[in-house]
C-alpha cells in the first residue's frame, strides 16, 4: 500500500507530532473515510469480490479494500459504513453456491441495509427489460433457469443451501433495518412453501419482496404476499388488524373508492380478443422521464415498476410474475374484486364497464394483413358470453377494430345481426358510443416488404367490393335506434 508522506516532511520540517487519525473524533474520521473515496451507493455482487453491477459513485474498489487492510481499527470503522451504504446481491447461478453470503462476518450482516438473493430465475434479471413484462415482444433470453423442481438433485441442493444460509444471515441482521428481496421461480406450490419457510424465522425487516414464479399465479402470489407482509416491520404492514366494513359505506362513496382500483385501467381503455381476453396496450415503452409526475402521466406509475427499483433487485411485478412487492402498482385484471361477494360483484361490474373503453381487437392485431374478414365478428362473443346481460347497461364505449384484408368478404354476418337484436334491449343506447375502425395500408411499411403494394392501386370494382364488405359489418348497427354516437 502506498504510504502518504507527512505534511511536515513535505514542507522540509522536522516532524514532532505524535497524534494519529484515531486522535480525531469518530464523526470527523467518518468524514475522512468518505473523502477517501470509499465505495457507496453501488450494487455489489457478493460472488465477484470488488465487482460492481451498476454504480451511483465513481469510487475505485481498490481504494476501499486497501483502506480495509490498513489496521483492525480502521477495518472495524469502515466495514459498517461499507455494508450500510451499498446494495448487495448474489445470484446462485454465478458460483452454484451461496457460500459468499455465509462468508460475511456477523458484524457485516448486522450492517446490511439491502440484500437481494436470486436462487432460481426463469426470466431476465435486473439491468435488462423484463422479458415477461411485455410477453408479446421478443427478447433475447438465453440465460434462464428452469422452474425449481425439488424432486431433482439440483432442486434439493438449492433448497438445502438456502435453508443453511438463511439460518445464518437471519441470526445476525438487525431488526427493521434490512430491505430484503428474494427470487425463486418454482414449479409447484409445495416447493414455494419450503422455500418460504426460512423467511418466517427472520426478525422484522424494513421491507421485503418475494417472487415465486415467472408467470402470474394466484396461489403463488398469495404465498408471496403472506410471507412478505408477515416478516415486514409492523409499522409498514398493509393488512389492518380490524377489517374495514366497506359495504356499510354509502353507495356513491363505494363506487368512487372502487374507481381508484384496478377496475379502471390507467388509460381507461381495455383491449379484448377471443383468445387473450382482457389486456391493456401502451403505444410507447415508457414516457422517457425518470420521475414522471402522476398528474401529467397518470399511467406511468401503473406500469414498469421494475424500472423504479433501487438497485439490482430484478423484477417483482405482480402483473408479470407470481410476485409481491409493496412498490408495484402495475395494473392487472381485477378478478379478486369480483370474487369478494355478490354485493361487491355488482358494484365492480358497474365501475368496470362504465369507466373503461372496450376495444375489440382482431387475433393477429390491427396491423397484419389477412386474407379476408373472419366469419365471426369478435364483438359477438364479447356481447354474448363475456358481458353479463344485467351489466350491458353500463357499457359506454365499444370499439370494433378490423384488420386490412386482401379478399372482400361476401359473408352477410347473420350472427352479428342476431346478437345485436338480442342485446339491444339491455344496452343503454343513448349513453353508448360505438366506433368501427377498418385498418388500411400501413404507412410505415418498408420498401420491398410483402405489404408495400397493398391497396396501392385498385380498380373501381375492387374498391366497391371492399366498401361492400365494410357495409355488411356496419349495416346491422342501424337497428340500434337512439344510439348515442
pLDDT tens figures, 259-301: 999 999 888 888 888 777 787 776 655 554 556 666 566 667 7
What pLDDT score does 237 carry?
47
Q: Is the pLDDT of residue 198 over 90?
A: yes
Note whether 390 and 423 are within 8 A (CB): no
In this predicted model, which residue has the larger pLDDT, 303 or 19? 303
What pLDDT score does 51 carry?
46
Within 10 angstroms of residue 170's Cβ, the number of other Cβ atoms is 19
Instruction: Tell me what the mean pLDDT of segment 164-183 comes to.
Output: 94
Instruction: Return the C-alpha torsion angle 345, 347, 348, 349, nearest 10.
Output: 90
457 DSSP assignment: S
Q: Is the pLDDT of residue 239 over 60?
A: no
Lowest mean pLDDT among 3-12, 34-43, 153-162, 203-212: 3-12
- Mean pLDDT, the chain, rounded, equals 80
Task: Read off the pLDDT of residues 121-145 as tens digits, 9 standing for 90 and up.
Answer: 987 654 455 555 544 444 445 567 8
**What is the CA angle 71-74-78, rounded to 5?**
140
483 alpha carbon, distance to own chain's centre: 39
What pLDDT score does 27 carry?
79
C-alpha cell at 258: 372502487
With CA atoms as reference, report the closest residue to 196 among 222, 223, 217, 178: 223
Whole-number percent of the chain with pLDDT over 70: 78
Q: What 3-state class would DSSP assign to 186?
A: strand
Q: Is the pLDDT of residue 16 over 70?
A: no
* Alpha-helical segments (H) within 382-440: 414-423
Q: What stretches of 221-330 adopt beta strand conformation (E)?
A: 269-273, 277-279, 322-324
With CA atoms as reference, report the closest residue to 183 among 97, 111, 120: 120
CA separation for the pair 203, 174 (Å, rounded): 8
Instruction: State the pLDDT confidence band at 219, using cuts at 50, 70 and 90.
Output: very high
Regarding pTM above 0.85, the answer is no
Q: Is the pLDDT of residue 250 over 60?
A: yes
What pLDDT score does 452 carry?
58
What pLDDT score does 289 carry?
54
Q: Is the pLDDT of residue 306 over 90?
A: no
Instruction: State the pLDDT confidence band at 37, using cuts at 50, 70 and 90.
Output: confident
Instruction: State the pLDDT confidence band at 251, using cuts at 50, 70 and 90.
Output: very high
Instruction: State the pLDDT confidence band at 356, using cuts at 50, 70 and 90.
Output: very high
Amino acid at each position: 500500500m502506498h504510504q502518504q508522506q507527512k505534511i511536515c516532511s513535505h514542507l522540509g520540517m522536522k516532524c514532532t507530532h505524535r497524534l494519529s487519525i484515531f486522535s480525531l473524533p469518530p464523526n470527523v474520521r467518518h468524514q475522512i473515510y468518505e473523502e477517501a473515496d470509499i465505495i457507496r451507493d453501488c450494487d455489489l455482487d457478493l460472488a465477484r469480490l470488488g465487482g460492481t453491477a451498476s454504480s451511483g459513485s465513481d469510487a475505485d474498489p481498490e481504494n476501499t479494500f486497501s483502506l480495509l487492510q490498513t489496521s483492525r481499527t480502521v477495518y472495524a470503522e469502515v466495514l459498517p459504513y461499507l455494508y450500510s451504504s451499498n446494495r448487495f446481491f448474489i445470484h446462485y447461478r454465478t458460483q452454484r453456491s451461496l457460500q459468499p453470503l455465509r462468508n460475511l462476518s456477523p458484524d457485516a450482516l448486522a450492517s446490511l441495509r439491502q440484500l437481494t438473493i436470486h436462487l432460481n430465475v426463469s426470466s431476465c434479471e435486473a439491468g435488462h427489460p423484463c422479458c415477461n413484462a411485455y410477453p408479446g415482444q421478443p427478447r433475447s433470453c438465453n440465460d434462464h433457469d428452469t422452474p425449481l423442481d425439488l424432486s431433482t438433485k439440483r432442486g434439493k441442493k438449492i433448497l438445502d443451501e438456502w435453508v443453511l444460509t438463511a439460518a445464518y444471515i437471519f441470526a445476525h441482521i438487525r431488526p427493521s433495518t434490512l430491505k430484503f428481496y428474494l427470487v425463486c421461480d418454482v414449479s409447484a406450490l409445495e416447493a414455494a412453501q419450503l422455500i418460504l419457510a426460512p423467511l418466517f424465522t427472520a426478525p422484522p425487516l424494513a421491507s421485503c419482496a418475494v417472487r415465486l414464479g415467472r408467470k402470474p399465479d394466484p396461489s403463488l402470489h398469495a404465498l408471496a404476499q403472506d410471507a412478505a407482509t408477515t416478516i415486514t416491520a409492523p409499522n409498514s404492514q398493509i393488512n389492518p388488524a380490524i377489517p374495514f366494513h366497506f359495504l356499510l359505506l354509502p353507495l356513491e362513496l363505494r363506487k368512487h373508492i372502487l374507481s381508484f382500483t384496478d377496475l379502471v385501467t390507467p388509460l381507461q381503455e381495455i383491449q379484448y380478443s377471443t383468445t387473450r381476453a382482457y389486456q391493456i396496450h401502451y403505444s410507447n415503452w415508457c414516457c422517457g422521464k425518470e420521475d414522471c409526475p402522476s398528474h401529467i402521466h397518470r399511467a406511468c406509475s401503473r406500469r414498469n415498476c421494475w424500472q423504479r427499483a433501487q438497485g439490482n433487485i430484478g423484477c417483482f411485478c405482480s402483473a408479470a410474475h407470481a410476485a409481491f412487492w409493496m412498490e408495484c402498482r402495475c395494473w392487472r385484471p381485477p378478478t379478486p374484486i369480483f370474487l369478494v361477494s355478490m354485493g361487491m360483484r355488482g358494484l365492480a361490474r358497474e365501475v368496470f364497464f362504465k369507466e373503461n373503453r372496450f376495444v375489440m381487437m382482431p387475433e393477429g392485431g390491427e396491423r397484419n394483413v389477412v386474407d379476408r374478414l373472419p366469419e365471426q365478428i369478435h364483438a359477438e362473443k364479447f356481447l354474448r358470453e363475456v358481458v353479463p346481460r344485467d351489466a350491458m347497461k353500463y357499457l359506454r364505449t365499444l370499439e370494433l377494430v378490423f384488420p386490412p384484408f386482401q379478399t372482400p368478404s361476401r359473408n352477410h354476418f347473420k350472427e352479428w345481426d342476431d346478437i345485436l337484436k338480442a342485446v339491444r334491449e339491455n344496452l343503454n343506447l343513448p349513453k353508448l358510443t360505438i366506433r368501427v375502425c377498418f385498418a388500411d395500408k400501413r404507412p410505415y411499411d418498408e420498401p420491398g416488404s410483402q405489404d408495400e403494394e397493398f391497396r396501392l392501386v385498385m380498380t373501381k370494382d375492387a374498391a366497391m367490393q371492399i366498401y361492400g364488405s365494410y357495409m355488411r359489418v356496419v349495416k346491422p348497427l342501424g337497428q340500434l335506434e337512439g344510439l348515442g354516437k
